[in-house]
Structures are given as C-alpha cells and as structure tokens.
Amino acid sequence: MLTITTEAVMTRDAFVAALRLQAERYHHAHPFHVAMNAGKLSKRQIQIWVANRFYYQKNIPLKDAAILSNCPEATVRRAWIQRIIDHDGTVDGQGGIENWIRLAEALGVSREAVLDERYLVPGVRFAVDAYVNFARTRPWVEAVASSLTEMFAPDLMQERINAFEQHYDWIDTKGLTYFRNRLVQAPRDADSAIGIVMQYTYTREQQERAIAALSFKCDVLWSMLDAIDHEVEGS
C-alpha cells in the first residue's frame, strides 16, 4: 500500500534516481528471460512466449489511447500519440504489432495462431488487462509514469537480439525488426515520458505515486513471465 507523506518534494535528480531504482524489479532478471538469453529454452518454450506476449503488444495502443483520453494537456497528447502510430502503423502491414506477428512467424508460430490467441494463458490476460485498466482509471500522469519501464528496455532488447542470433540458429533473423526498432524508440519514448512526469508532478505525494505506478508496471511484466513460465514447464 502506498504511504502518503508530507515530506518535501524530491529534487529532480533524486526523483529520477528513485524511478531508475525500479530497474532492480524489471523483468530482465526473471528466470525465464535469463534462460532465454543463455540459450537454454526449447523452441516450444520460445513459441509460447512470443504468442502470449502478443496480447501485451496488441493492448499497448489501447493503454496509450486511455492516457490520451484522460490527459487535458494538448502538448502531451501531441507527443504521446506517436506511440499509437508506432504500434498500429499508418496503414495495414506497418507498425510494432505487425512486426511482432512477423517475429512470431520467424519463430515458427503462424499468424493465425497469434491472432486467435489459442496459446494465451489466463495469467497473461489478467496481467495485461490490469495494466490497461490502470491506464484508464488512474490519473494520467501515473499512467505515463508506468510506461517508464522503457528506460530499462534497450539493454534487454540488445541482449535478446544477441541471444537469438547466437543461440537459436533456427530463427529467421529478418523477424527481429521489432527489437531493432525498439532500440531507437524506447530511449526516445522514455526521455519524453520522464520529461512529462517531471513537469506534471508537483508534490511529494504525486512523485511517490509515480514511483508506485512504475513499480506496478514492473509487477505486470514479471507476472506475465510467471504465467508463461508455468505454462511451459516441462516443454
């Protein structure tokens, strides 16, 4: 439970440091990711992962649309809408969601199997739906803060590219476009979100709620991997 405090507002540097400290809870350290990057997962395990992660990918624009609908600041909306464009594209066959489907195909999972969610496990659905609901119901600045896991993503993306190319030679590397794009998009998005959070948190309570929101997002990502890991045990 969040403890409300009347302490003085944190300095910018202290606030950013407190946000970055949540990296200790990021899912890069989850045993499933550790095993993936060490080349220890079976083809079936990776296929279940990519099919389940799609549910998160397809809901990202819904989360971002919820933030837009709650945000009264036009300047923020103009910046934030780029995230929806990145994932949805501007025409069919473009965007991060399409690139994730192509990744799944490169991993041997058909487009149809991804889209009909035949491999989706309940724990992943529950975690992702909780995240979208958070964005819809919490103050928009907290929802923005929850997206700051992007601060931690580029290193994980590069590590994953390296792992797939080194350990899983059955993967068509043309399907890794999603990860390569995120090497550029994630730092850009994180810088933008940090600036927004810094500008629109005025009290210590708001700062602590922003940190709690980022912590919640880390829980969402970790819970997704827990559910996937449980599903693929013994695969």
Q: Where are the alpha helices (DSSP H) in 89-234?
A: 96-106, 111-115, 122-137, 140-146, 153-167, 177-200, 204-232
Model confidence at 23: pLDDT above 80: yes
pLDDT at 155: 83
Task: Tell me which residue of 61, 105, 64 sits closest to 87, measured CA to CA.
Answer: 61
**112 token code pair:** 């149809």
pLDDT at 104: 97
DSSP state of 176: G
pLDDT at 37: 94
**Structural domains of the chain in order of their starting residue, each with its CATH number:** 12-232 (1.20.910.10)
Which residues have C-beta within 8 Å of that of residue 34, sequence separation ≥ 6?
Answer: none
Rg (CA), the chain: 18
Q: Are 18 and 201 in contact (CB under 8 A)?
A: no
Instruction: Work out the burial of residue 85: count CB atoms within 10 Å of its CB; fewer than 13 is exposed, 13-18 middle, 19 or more buried.
Output: middle
pLDDT digits (tens, 9 = 90+) for 210-221: 999 999 999 999
pLDDT digits (tens, 9 = 90+) for 122-152: 999 999 999 999 999 999 999 999 999 999 8
**24 token code pair:** 């200790």
pLDDT at 21: 92
pLDDT digits (tens, 9 = 90+) for 70-86: 999 999 999 999 999 99
Amino acid at 20: R
Q: How far is the C-alpha of 96 from the C-alpha of 99, rounded, in Å?
A: 5
Q: How far is the C-alpha of 18 from the C-alpha of 209, rounded, in Å?
A: 12
Average pLDDT, the chain: 93
Model confidence at 235: pLDDT above 70: no
- Look-up: residue for tokens 């970790």? 222
| Residue 139: how many other CB atoms lie within 10 Å | 15
Q: How far is the C-alpha of 5 from the C-alpha of 49, rounded, in Å?
A: 40
DSSP state of 28: G
Model confidence at 160: pLDDT above 50: yes
Amino acid at 66: A
Model confidence at 65: pLDDT above 50: yes
**140 token code pair:** 């928009």
* Overall pTM surpassing 0.75 (yes/no): yes
| Residue 134: how many other CB atoms lie within 10 Å | 18
